[in-house]
Amino acid sequence: MRPAKQYLENKKNVLLITRELYPFATAGIAFHVFYTSKFLSEKFNIYILHDSSHPLPLIFIPLRLIRFTTKIKKADLIHAHQALSPAILAYLISKLYHIPFIVTCHGSEIRYPKNKLVWLIQSFILRRATYVTVVSEELKKILIQNYYVDPCRISIIRNGYDEKEINRLKRETEVEKSEKIIFVGSLRPIKDPYTLLLGFIKIKTKYPDVKLHIIGDGPLREQLKKVCMENNLCSSVIFEGRKTHRETLRSIAESTIFIMTSIGEGLPTVLIEAMASGKPVIATAVGGIPEIVKHEINGLLIPPRCPECVAQALDKLLSNPDLRKKYGKAAEESVKDLSWRKISEQYEEIYNKLLSEFE
């Protein structure tokens, strides 16, 4: 058996740069980095640089670069998550050490650039990246059309789910105890929980025992609570606030229907987790969502900002347990190849290809 030190020395060094790191953050990027690095560490020496600064900290970039170089003298490959400050750091390190760098674009950072300067910087770096990955076909099109990135250097690697944890929860929650609708997301305009509440109001009289559980927090919380008070929904809408990832997965496993009413998305990790849990899903047809949710096949797609559509979709599923079961089973089947291990294998293939080209 090889000594541990020799084994580590024979593995290539990969530096991951991210602004969101689990458990300090519980957004999709944080989970993406956490789980993929966990599996990739079986084949590579993975180092993580947590870039917690402003999205484009031009003044502090040199200082952060110096701090990095004093800690890790040599990396074989750089992988930046987000086309913001992580990508800038990756580009500078790549130029300094003459090594390849990958940028993974997760969504809003390229869909909604803050201004012309940000777009110029992102375009400059993305066109010079050795390789770029995105979580959806929609984002790939944005890179090609708006940032002029060579499509031959772009791959789609989606978000995933924790196969082991979700399978365990499915075994523990096989029996549906009560009808429970669940929403998971920040209480911000982009997630549009207000439309969800308005839609729920429309079906509440027909389904008086159904509860809506809202997991997440944000600036709209008090406004949403006020809507509940004005419509006598305080006992029917449960604001659960922020929960740990494991607690959230359990809540999803115990739910009847998963719903999201966002007006903009990349490819939500929580949606994939709900589908992997075998839940019938209702989601707005925005971003990369229609790439995995197929209307009336493995879930229901609705237009954004449409309370009436929310009500109709909820009514359709609440009134038909067999349809819920059908969509849930189809949803589970459709994301079976999106476990984090399989997602990591796609990165491993790209890493090995680039490393071999730069030897």
Tens of pLDDT, residue by residue over 241-276, are 999 999 999 999 999 999 999 999 989 999 999 999
Q: Which residues 6+ apart lie within 8 Å of 27 measured at CB?
A: 20
Q: How would residue 177 be classed by pLDDT, with cut points 50, 70 and 90? A: low
pLDDT 10s digits, 198-207:
999 999 999 9
Question: Residues 149, 178: contact at Cβ < 8 Å?
Answer: no
Q: What is the mean pLDDT of the chain?
A: 90
Nearest to 261 by CA among 310, 298, 225: 310
Maximum alpha-carbon separation in the chain:
69
Nearest to 242 by CA among 266, 221, 257, 212: 221
Angle at which helix 307-318 crosses helix 193-204, to 10 degrees, equals 50
DSSP 235-287: TTEEEEE---HHHHHHHHHT-SEEEE--S--S--HHHHHHHHTT--EEEES-T
Q: How far is CA 80 from CA 84, 128, 264, in A?
A: 9, 13, 23
Beta-carbon count within 10 A of 38 CB: 14
pLDDT of residue 64: 55
Q: How would residue 72 be classed by pLDDT, with cut points 50, 70 and 90? A: low
Q: How would residue 175 be classed by pLDDT, with cut points 50, 70 and 90? A: low
Q: What's the whole-model pTM score?
A: 0.90
Q: How many residues does the chain have?
A: 359
pLDDT of residue 36: 96
Question: Does the pLDDT value for residue 70 go beyond 50?
Answer: no
Question: Residues 69, 8: contact at Cβ < 8 Å?
Answer: no
Domains of the chain and any CATH numbers:
4-160+339-357 (3.40.50.2000), 163-334 (3.40.50.2000)
Burial of 293 (0-12, 13-18, 19+ CB in 10 A): buried
Beta-carbon count within 10 A of 148 CB: 10
- Residue ranges of alpha helices (H) inside 129-268 are 137-146, 163-172, 193-204, 221-230, 245-253
Cα angle value 99/104/105 (rounded, 5°): 140
Segment 307-320 shows an average pLDDT of: 98
Label residues 39-67 b or e (16+ Cβ within 10 Å = b). Answer: bbeebbbbbbbebebeebbeeebeebbee
Q: What is the CA radius of gyration of the chain?
A: 22
Question: Residues 75, 15: contact at Cβ < 8 Å?
Answer: yes
Question: Residues 310, 200: contact at Cβ < 8 Å?
Answer: yes
